């Protein structure tokens, strides 16, 4: 059986954590979703450093897929690594935080104009329509385990970065 390597990378520092009130005011003024902040300048530097470190590692087998939650900060963290490895970014809603509200986050196709690395053709395990009455992702007993293992089973690659 072929070996699978799974690497987990947390997103870089969030803009709203460094600029909480300014971010809330700007979102209110522009009609943006405050729960989907970009990276701060520190977060962008962290993403570049992570990409550089991982791109120079000799993984066997090599990294062959990047899976990301749909949040902007996570996509921005994955972007430098996608560049370094010449890979696209596959958006998987299962990787979002527990209170994830898919209806509030732009779909992958809407991100492509600013982030062409996003693969809008990738079919996630949980789609945007899988949400509760408040728009949050429905989490039922056992769903967390399914979300943790199914992306690996569905994607026919050897090394994966979440």
Contact between residue 11 and residue 71 where contact means Cβ atoms under 8 Å apart? yes
Question: Is 126's pLDDT higher than 80?
Answer: no
pTM: 0.80
Question: Is 45's pLDDT higher than 80?
Answer: yes
For the chain, what percent of residues have pLDDT higher than 90? Answer: 48
Contact between residue 15 and residue 37 where contact means Cβ atoms under 8 Å apart? yes
Domains in the chain: boundaries: 5-11+46-161
What's the sign of the alpha-carbon dihedral 77, 15, 10, 135?
Answer: negative
Count of alpha carbons within 13 angstroms of residue 104, beta-carbon side: 18
For the domain covering 5-11+46-161, report its CATH number: 3.40.50.1240
pLDDT of 141 reads 39
Q: Where are the beta strands (DSSP E) in the chain?
A: 5-7, 65-68, 89-91, 159-161
Q: 57: pLDDT confidence band, cut at 50, 70 and 90?
A: confident
Task: Map residue 65 onto helix, strand or coil.
Answer: strand
């Amino acid at each position: 059986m072929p070996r699978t390597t799974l690497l987990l990378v947390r997103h870089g520092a969030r803009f709203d954590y460094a600029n909480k009130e300014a971010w809330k005011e700007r979102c209110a003024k522009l009609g943006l979703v405050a729960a989907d902040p970009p990276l701060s300048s520190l977060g962008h530097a962290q993403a570049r450093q992570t990409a550089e470190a991982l791109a120079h590692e000799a993984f066997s087998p090599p990294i062959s897929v990047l899976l990301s939650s749909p949040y902007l900060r996570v996509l921005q963290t994955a972007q430098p690594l996608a560049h370094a490895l010449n890979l696209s970014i596959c958006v998987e809603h299962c990787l979002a935080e527990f209170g994830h509200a898919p209806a509030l986050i732009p779909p992958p196709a809407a991100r492509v104009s600013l982030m062409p690395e996003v693969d809008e053709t990738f079919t996630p395990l949980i789609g945007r329509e899988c949400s509760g009455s408040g728009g949050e992702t429905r989490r039922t007993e056992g769903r967390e385990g399914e979300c943790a293992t199914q992306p690996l089973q569905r994607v026919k690659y050897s090394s994966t970065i979440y």
